């Protein structure tokens, strides 16, 4: 492990750019050498927070003490900023979605490779605790073999900010939250996506989607429903998962949730019919007493290190990236298939993510 800290300049000192400064400061291996933003007001905000604000991107690239560029601008300019960084011999951390298309991303990875520099995408939600609890359940069969996963985020604030409304800048929810939720699923499920169907919502009247629903069928039989909504005044649980031996629910990011499993000790009894609405049902009657066990969620699966520590190890050549570029490419191709499925109203089967 190197004794000196790796210096980073954050390009795009907006919401996420300023958040990165806090995260990087918490990590002893990296330090923020400054920021660059096109807007004067954001450069002043950077100075006020104690970070040098470079006057131009050329100045950043010309500074030999800068080893890494962290890109936290709107999505449409990630590629050009990254390509210039590689030409100047810098490493790159890039916010998600790393590019506007899989084609753009391939160009970026090729440029990184020719320059012999690292390109790592900030798929930070692989470290989210709610996701890692589900990963633990998936990997270790806590509720049997998981065969259906429903991953949702619901808000009621519409699409926030400005560029997120603009198609040409990579706006819309599929390219925003969608990237995270799909990345989590493909990272966890070690099986190819066999088919995709989807629909996008345009309830708010923007040119970009304000939400979407996608159904992914994996070759190993797992089905995933992914949903993002921005007009949900009552939210559905963040995760609802079904296994062969039980069901799990995680309501929110505070990890309110539970698992309910079949009690193997209990004698299998016919359910007693109940009145349901104006009818009678045995099928939908609650399980007989003692037939199920309710337990707390399992502890979250661990990842080898934090994103930033892993990045420091990768540029020092001592570790493999946890976020690998072929995985990022797969997610971009999946997003393209989801857009195509929504546009054509077809289930897409013949696509190649791999």
Binding site for ligand NAD (CB under 6 A): 11-17, 36-39, 42, 72-75, 77, 95-96, 122, 124, 161, 163, 176
Query: Closer CB to ligand NAD, residue 75 or residue 184?
Result: 75
Nearest to 108 by CA among 78, 88, 75: 78
Which residue pairs, CB below 8 angstroms and at least 24 apart, start in 41-44?
A: 42/13, 42/14, 43/13
Query: Closer CB to ligand NAD, residue 57 or residue 138?
Result: 57
Query: Closer CB to ligand NAD, residue 132 or residue 262?
Result: 132
DSSP β-ladder status, 292-295 and 257-262: antiparallel
Starting at the edge strand found earlier in the chain, the sheet holding 30-36 runs 30-36, 6-11, 68-71, 91-94, 119-121
Q: How far apart are CA 41 and CA 37, in angstroms?
A: 9
Instruction: Tell me the three state secondary structure of residue 240.
Output: strand
Query: Closer CB to ligand NAD, residue 51 or residue 218?
Result: 51
Q: How far is the CB of 126 from ligand NAD (least distance, A)?
A: 11
Q: How far is the CB of 337 from ligand NAD (least distance, A)?
A: 20
Residue nearest ligand NAD by beta-carbon distance = 14
What is the enclosing helix (H) or strand (E) of 245? none
Starting at the edge strand found earlier in the chain, the sheet holding 246-250 runs 193-201, 211-218, 223-229, 146-154, 239-243, 246-250, 257-262, 292-295
Query: Closer CB to ligand NAD, residue 14 or residue 144?
Result: 14
Q: How far is the CB of 213 from ligand NAD (least distance, A)?
A: 20
Q: How far is the CB of 26 from ligand NAD (least distance, A)?
A: 15
Q: How far apart are CA 209 and CA 226, in angstroms?
A: 14
Q: How far apart are CA 104 and CA 124, in angstroms?
A: 21
Q: How far is the CB of 233 from ligand NAD (least distance, A)?
A: 23
Query: Closer CB to ligand NAD, residue 176 or residue 210?
Result: 176
Residue position matching structure tokens 């707390």: 296
Query: Closer CB to ligand NAD, residue 41 or residue 352?
Result: 41
Beta bridge partners of 142: 144
Nearest to 337 by CA among 171, 233, 247, 226: 226
Look at phi and psi of residue 221 and say left if phi exceeds 0, alpha if psi is from -120 to 50, else beta: left
Q: How far is the CB of 321 from ligand NAD (least distance, A)?
A: 16
Q: How far is the CB of 79 from ligand NAD (least distance, A)?
A: 11
Q: How far is the CB of 121 from ligand NAD (least distance, A)?
A: 9
Query: Closer CB to ligand NAD, residue 39 or residue 156?
Result: 39
Q: How far apart are CA 221 and CA 173, in angstroms?
A: 27
Residue 231 DSSP one-character state: S
Secondary structure string (H, E, C) spanning 42-71: HHHHHHHCCCCECCCHHHHHHCCCCCEEEE
Q: How far is the CB of 186 from ligand NAD (least distance, A)?
A: 16
Query: Closer CB to ligand NAD, residue 38 or residue 62?
Result: 38
């Amino acid at each position: 492990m190197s004794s000196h800290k790796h210096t980073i300049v954050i390009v795009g000192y907006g919401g996420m750019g300023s958040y990165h400064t806090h995260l990087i400061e918490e990590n002893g291996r990296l330090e923020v050498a400054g920021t660059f933003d096109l807007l004067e007001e954001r450069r002043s905000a950077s100075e006020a927070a104690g970070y040098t604000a470079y006057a131009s991107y050329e100045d950043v690239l010309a500074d030999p003490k800068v080893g890494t560029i962290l890109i936290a601008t709107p999505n449409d300019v990630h590629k050009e900023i990254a390509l210039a960084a590689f030409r100047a011999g810098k490493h790159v951390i890039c916010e998600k979605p790393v590019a506007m298309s899989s084609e753009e991303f391939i160009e970026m990875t090729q440029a990184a490779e020719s320059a012999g520099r690292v390109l790592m995408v900030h798929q930070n939600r692989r470290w989210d605790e709610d996701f890692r609890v589900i990963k633990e359940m998936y990997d270790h069969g806590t509720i049997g073999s998981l065969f259906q996963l429903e991953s949702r985020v619901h808000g009621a604030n519409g699409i926030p900010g400005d560029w997120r409304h603009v198609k040409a800048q990579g706006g819309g929810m599929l390219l925003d939250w969608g990237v995270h939720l799909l990345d989590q699923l493909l990272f966890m499920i070690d099986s190819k996506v066999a088919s995709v169907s989807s629909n996008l919502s345009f309830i708010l009247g923007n040119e970009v989607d304000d939400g979407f629903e996608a159904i992914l069928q994996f070759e190993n039989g797992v089905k995933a429903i992914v949903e993002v909504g921005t007009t949900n005044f009552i939210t559905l649980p963040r995760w609802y998962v079904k296994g062969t031996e039980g069901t799990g629910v995680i309501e929110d990011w505070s990890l309110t949730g539970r698992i309910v499993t079949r009690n193997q000790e209990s004698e299998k009894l016919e359910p007693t019919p109940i009145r349901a609405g104006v009818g009678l049902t045995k099928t939908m009657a609650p399980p007989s007493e003692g037939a199920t066990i309710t337990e707390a969620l399992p502890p979250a699966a661990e990842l080898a290190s934090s994103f930033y520590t892993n990045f420091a190890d990768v540029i020092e050549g001592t570790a493999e990236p946890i976020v690998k570029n072929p995985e990022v490419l797969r997610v971009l191709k999946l997003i393209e298939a989801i857009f195509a499925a929504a546009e054509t109203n077809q289930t897409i089967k013949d696509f190649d993510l791999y």
